[in-house]
């Protein structure tokens, strides 16, 4: 278990000075070295199996080729595809991801950011969900994925949720539904809030208004509670637009408990196609969000920000797609 070769070992094998070896090995400075020397150094590096010590490099250059990725909880099925996209995007530039889960705890988030900054993270991708400010002071590049802040000075990559909501409401309207309710997401989460507003707008465009109940969280349990309130307040609904799939599944549960059939009695739609919702009973109509691409684009945007920190704070919006399944049908007389 002898020590790993350093650049001095490479240099002495190539019979040059360490500085020259460094220049020869770095693509950016390679043109300042004669081709023959480059050749010798590269050869020496290969035979020794040299790999640069990234700690030393980080210390010297103040960069690490590592990005911090902070999400609420990897077990939420939204995030694995996003994170995978992020990693693939970062890998395109030789970057790696340092992953942290906050469990939606703002203190934990601040703590993670601090720890990661101590680890020389070159930038952050935040997928945490609150609409409030971000725990960063603008001295380090940040990209938001699947969320925006209200003050729009942070680059973000989001899906066009409102367009998806419009499409769902249009679908239900075309099927003949007029009494449509909404199970909204938390008010302080940008995606939930955007969908709520889009729902109101879409309904208004058909000269309708619909009852709304807000969920405290994007969970089945919150969905159950809100569904109960919604059905108690407005028993004659024929369709329910849920702010995401988990809430829709909670809605399924309450409907089952109450002996209401889907879609015969009430049509239900979700949002954010989750794995296996096509195999639910009934299979769930939902909106597919290009999660992997959201991650991929956010990584590219971050790399762009790192390379060019003072550029404009671009935002990227990706299209969504309605996936119609068994959970919606024409309303029946009730």
Query: Binding residues for a second copy, per CB under 8 A?
Result: 1, 4, 49, 51-56, 58-59, 64, 66, 73-75, 77, 79-81, 83-84, 87-88, 96-101, 114-120, 139, 249, 252, 274-277, 279-281
Pick the closest to residue 296 from 157, 94, 89 (CA basis). Answer: 89
* Residues 78, 146 contacting (CB under 8 angstroms): yes
- Interface with DNA, residue 7, by CB under 7 A: yes
Q: Name the residue nearer to a second copy (CB basis): 73 or 264.
A: 73
Stretch that binds DNA, among 2-10, 124-132, 142-150, 287-295 (CB under 7 A): 2-10
Length of the chain: 334
CB of 2 to DNA, least distance (A): 11
CB of 40 to a second copy, least distance (A): 22
Q: Which of residues 81-110 bind DNA (CB under 7 A)?
A: none
Distance CA 196, CA 153 (A): 23
Pick the closest to residue 327 from 289, 287, 286, 288 (CA basis). Answer: 286
- Interface with DNA, residue 33, by CB under 7 A: yes
Cα 315 to chain centroid distance, Å, stands at 14
Question: 3-class SS at 331?
Answer: coil
- Interface with DNA, residue 307, by CB under 7 A: no
Q: What does 299 bind: a second copy, DNA, none (CB cut-off 5 to 8 Å by kind)?
A: none
For residue 39, what are the contacts with CB-CB under 8 A and spacing of at least 6?
Answer: none
For residue 333, what are the contacts with CB-CB under 8 A and spacing of at least 6?
Answer: none
Q: Which of residues 157-196 bind DNA (CB under 7 A)?
A: none
Q: What does 47 bind: a second copy, DNA, none (CB cut-off 5 to 8 Å by kind)?
A: none
Stretch that binds DNA, among 53-61, 208-216, 223-231, 282-290 (CB under 7 A): 53-61
* b/e code 174-213 from CB counts within 10 Å (16+ = b): ebebebbbbbbbbeebbbbbbbbebbbebbeeeeeebebb
CB of 83 to a second copy, least distance (A): 6
CB of 310 to a second copy, least distance (A): 11
Distance CA 128, CA 146 (A): 8
Binding site for DNA (CB under 7 A): 3-4, 6-8, 15-20, 22-23, 25-26, 28-29, 32-34, 36-37, 50, 52-53, 56-57, 59-61
């Amino acid at each position: 278990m002898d020590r790993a070769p350093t650049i001095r070992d490479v240099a002495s094998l190539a019979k040059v000075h360490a500085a020259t070896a460094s220049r020869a090995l770095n693509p950016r400075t390679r043109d300042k070295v004669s081709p023959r020397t480059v050749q010798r150094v590269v050869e020496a590096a290969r035979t020794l199996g040299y790999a640069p010590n990234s700690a030393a490099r980080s210390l010297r250059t103040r960069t690490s080729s590592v990005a911090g990725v902070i999400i609420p909880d990897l077990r939420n099925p939204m995030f694995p595809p996003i994170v995978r996209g992020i990693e693939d995007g970062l890998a395109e530039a030789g970057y790696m991801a340092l992953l942290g889960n906050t469990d939606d705890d703002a203190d934990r988030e601040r703590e993670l950011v601090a720890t990661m900054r101590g680890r020389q993270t070159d930038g952050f991708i935040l997928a945490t969900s609150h609409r409030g400010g971000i725990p960063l002071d603008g001295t380090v590049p940040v990209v938001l994925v699947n969320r925006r802040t209200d003050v729009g000075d942070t680059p973000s990559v989001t899906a066009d949720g409102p367009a998806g909501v419009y499409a769902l409401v249009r679908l239900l309207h075309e099927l003949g539904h007029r009494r449509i309710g909404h199970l909204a997401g938390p008010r302080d989460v940008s995606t939930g809030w955007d969908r709520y507003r889009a729902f109101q707008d879409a309904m208004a465009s058909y000269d309708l208004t619909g009852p709304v109940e807000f969920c405290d969280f994007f969970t089945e349990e919150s969905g159950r509670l809100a569904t109960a309130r919604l059905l108690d307040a407005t028993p004659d609904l024929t369709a329910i637009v849920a702010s995401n799939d988990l809430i829709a599944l909670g809605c399924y549960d309450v409907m089952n408990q109450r002996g209401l059939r889907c879609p015969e009695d009430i049509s239900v739609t979700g949002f954010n196609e989750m794995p296996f919702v096509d195999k639910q009973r009934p299979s769930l109509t939902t909106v597919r969000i290009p999660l992997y691409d959201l991650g991929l684009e956010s990584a590219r945007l971050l790399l762009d920000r790192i390379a060019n920190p003072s550029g404009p704070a671009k935002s990227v919006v990706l299209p969504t797609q309605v996936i119609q399944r068994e959970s919606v049908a024409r309303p029946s007389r009730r």
